[in-house]
């Protein structure tokens, strides 16, 4: 009997504690699994190839007790919440990245969310990051021990001949003693510790993007995972702590980036205005805190809808500049946008302008952003006006921008309405609601009644009970007949809106009480798990 308590999530990656009948292991970890699960050594029919046809798999069911539940792409899954599951021969999946991802997605979808995943004979210092990103937590020393027997010196960047141990690359005790086996095991433990740290910081994606550069198959696995957008988006939080570093081409396909664009194009409702100005992004986030954007706003004077053109997000309306990841990303600034960037971002702009029509669109851009705007205009058949073609923050360009808006009326500044539409997918009448507070510490109220406040860490709105009364449906978690006395746990949840993601603001609804809080799990995991916190409650109201 095993039990897995998840402590921290970062997409598919988790940290936690696995309890078996013989030991307690903090995950992710490499362990002597023959000690954890003695029955594995004598269990037949568990090493069937992942590519084996269904008929063969069904003829050889695993006969095993007191050990991980054996899972296979062609077998019905018998795992239950809290189990440890094992994907035998997973190391062979690296040879075919497409199969790796297809098998992974299929297995994840039919396995309880709160199970620990064991990849036998798969973990090397160079593969642990992508394995953890794929949702595996438990490993053994088989792969590194085999490399040691083959005379290979293992590092996170790849394997080298054994004489590399003498080059001073590593100064671990194994290297000092000339012990290749000791070094390889220590290198694996060190990389797992580093991966654990990145999971805790919710930045494993950044580590994986850097590590996979040395292995073409790992790059392909990452790209195939990104193409499974609906699968990845469902498990990724709506906001992370810290900066989202978009430092590689793969960053443009991150599910968080795609999610922002999709919500912009399908949910977001712009203000009533028929004049738009396209502006360049800034290094400082949110943009309005930068010196250049302060100058842009003075020149525009509220006479147009401000839209920021940026990579990798595509387009960020001024109302959404605080929302994750718009207010939390960092990207290398070179002034050069490659063909793929231009194609993706111009496509986003074209879809936006095909959906939302403006009488005038003024491009106050230069370089790659200007190229993208021109491509988008050609794609959707609109005409751009140009207030500059270089140095948008310069005095001449700002004067030209001001002059181009002469005679245009000021528009109503209703940041709240745009943020609500994007976050909750609703069109709410916010007339009479006034923002109060300073800088980013804002809340919106009407009279003495407060409706919403801004979470400065994520840029998301936090509704009060009065605010939730204006959101007619969606983002609800239903619970059994009880009054929460703190966070809502998974066993008490009876239903959840499928749109809910980890980090979303939700309304907990029960027969005896309602509560506001933040989802600690996506909706699917709330309903498929048996342990853990479902909602971190902020306020409770008895009915």
Calpha distance 246→178 (Å, rounded): 40
CATH code for 428-542? Answer: 2.30.130.10
The answer to whether 460 and 325 are in contact (CB under 8 A) is no
How many CB atoms are closer than 10 A to CB 42?
9
Taking the model in full, what pTM does it have?
0.93
Helix/strand/coil for 18: strand
Calpha distance 516→484 (Å, rounded): 11
* pLDDT at position 46: 81
Taken in order 461, 462, 467, 470, is the CA torsion positive or negative?
Answer: positive
Query: Which fold is adopted by the domain 244-404?
Result: Rossmann fold (3.40.50)
Taken in order 94, 37, 19, 144, is the CA torsion positive or negative?
Answer: negative
Main-chain dihedrals φ then ψ at residue 410, nearest 5 degrees: -70, 145
Closest CA to 515 of 491, 536, 493, 489: 536
Calpha distance 16→23 (Å, rounded): 14
Question: Domain 3-227 classified CATH 3.20.20.105?
Answer: yes
The answer to whether 265 and 355 are in contact (CB under 8 A) is yes
Main-chain dihedrals φ then ψ at residue 186, nearest 5 degrees: -65, -40
Chunked mean pLDDT (size 10), the chain, 543 residues: 90 94 91 86 81 90 82 90 93 97 96 94 97 97 97 96 92 94 97 97 94 95 96 94 87 93 96 95 93 96 96 95 93 84 95 96 94 95 93 95 95 91 95 86 92 93 96 95 93 96 97 96 92 94 92
Q: How far does the chain reach from its first CA to its final CA, in angstroms? A: 41
* pLDDT at position 338: 87
Closest CA to 379 of 405, 411, 345: 345
Closest CA to 362 of 345, 392, 387: 387
Calpha distance 279→284 (Å, rounded): 14
The answer to whether 351 and 266 are in contact (CB under 8 A) is no
Q: At what angle do helices 216-227 and 204-211 cross, to 10 degrees?
A: 140
**Could you report the per-residue pLDDT of 388-434, keeping only the tens digit for each?**
988 999 999 999 999 999 999 999 888 999 999 999 999 999 999 99
What is the Cβ-side half-sphere exposure of residue 374, based on CA atoms within 13 angstroms?
Answer: 9
Strand partners, 154: 159
The domain ranges of the chain are 3-227, 244-404, 428-542
């Amino acid at each position: 009997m095993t039990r897995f308590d998840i402590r921290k999530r970062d997409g598919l990656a988790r940290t936690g504690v696995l309890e078996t009948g013989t030991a307690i292991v903090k995950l992710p970890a490499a362990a002597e699994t023959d000690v954890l699960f003695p029955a594995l050594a004598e269990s037949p029919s568990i090493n069937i190839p992942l590519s084996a046809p269904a008929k063969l798999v069904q003829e050889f069911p695993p006969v095993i007790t007191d050990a991980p539940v054996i899972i296979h792409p062609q077998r019905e899954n018998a795992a239950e919440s809290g189990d440890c599951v094992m994907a035998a021969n997973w190391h062979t999946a690296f040879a075919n990245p497409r199969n790796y991802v297809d098998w992974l997605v299929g297995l994840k979808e039919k396995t309880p969310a709160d199970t620990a995943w064991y990849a036998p004979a798969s973990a090397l210092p160079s593969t642990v990051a992508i394995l953890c990103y794929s949702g595996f937590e438990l490993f053994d020393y088989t792969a590194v021990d085999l490399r040691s027997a083959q005379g290979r010196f293992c590092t996170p960047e790849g394997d080298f001949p054994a004489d590399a141990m003498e080059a001073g690359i590593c100064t671990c005790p194994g290297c000092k003693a000339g012990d290749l086996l000791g070094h390889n095991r220590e290198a694996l433990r060190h990389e797992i510790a580093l991966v654990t740290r990145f999971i805790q910081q919710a930045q494993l994606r950044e580590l994986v993007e850097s590590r996979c550069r040395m292995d073409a198959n790992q790059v392909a696995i990452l790209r195939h995972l990104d193409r499974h957008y609906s699968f990845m988006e469902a498990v990724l939080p709506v906001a992370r702590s810290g900066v989202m570093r978009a430092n590689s081409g793969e960053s443009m396909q991150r599910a968080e980036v795609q999610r922002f664009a999709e919500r912009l194009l399908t949910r977001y409702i712009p203000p009533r205005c028929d004049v738009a100005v396209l502006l360049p992004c800034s290094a400082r986030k949110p943009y309005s805190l930068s010196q250049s954007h302060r100058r842009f706003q003075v020149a525009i004077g509220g006479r147009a809808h401000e839209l920021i053109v940026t990579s990798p997000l595509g387009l960020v309306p001024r109302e959404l500049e605080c929302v994750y990841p718009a207010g939390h990303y960092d990207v290398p600034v070179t002034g050069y946008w490659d063909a793929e960037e231009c194609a993706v971002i111009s496509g986003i702009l074209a879809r936006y302008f095909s959906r939302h029509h403006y009488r005038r669109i003024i491009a106050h851009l230069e370089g790659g952003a200007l190229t993208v705007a021109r491509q988008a205009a050609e794609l959707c058949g609109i005409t751009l006006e140009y207030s500059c073609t270089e140095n948008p923050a310069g005095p001449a360009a700002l004067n030209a921008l001001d002059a181009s808006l002469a005679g245009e009326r000021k528009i109503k500044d209703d940041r709240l309405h745009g943020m609500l539409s994007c976050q909750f997918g609703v069109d709410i009448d916010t007339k009479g609601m006034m923002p109060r507070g300073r800088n980013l510490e804002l809340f919106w109220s009407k009279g003495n009644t407060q409706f919403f406040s801004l979470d400065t860490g994520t840029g998301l709105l936090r509704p009060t009970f009065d605010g939730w009364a204006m959101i007619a449906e969606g983002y609800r978690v239903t619970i059994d007949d009880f009054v929460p006395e703190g966070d809502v746990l998974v066993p008490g949840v009876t239903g959840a809106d499928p749109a809910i993601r980890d980090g979303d603001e939700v309304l907990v609804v029960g027969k005896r009480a309602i509560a506001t809080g933040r989802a600690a799990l996506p909706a699917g995991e709330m309903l498929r798990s048996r342990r853990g916190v479902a909602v971190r409650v902020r306020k409770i109201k008895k009915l």
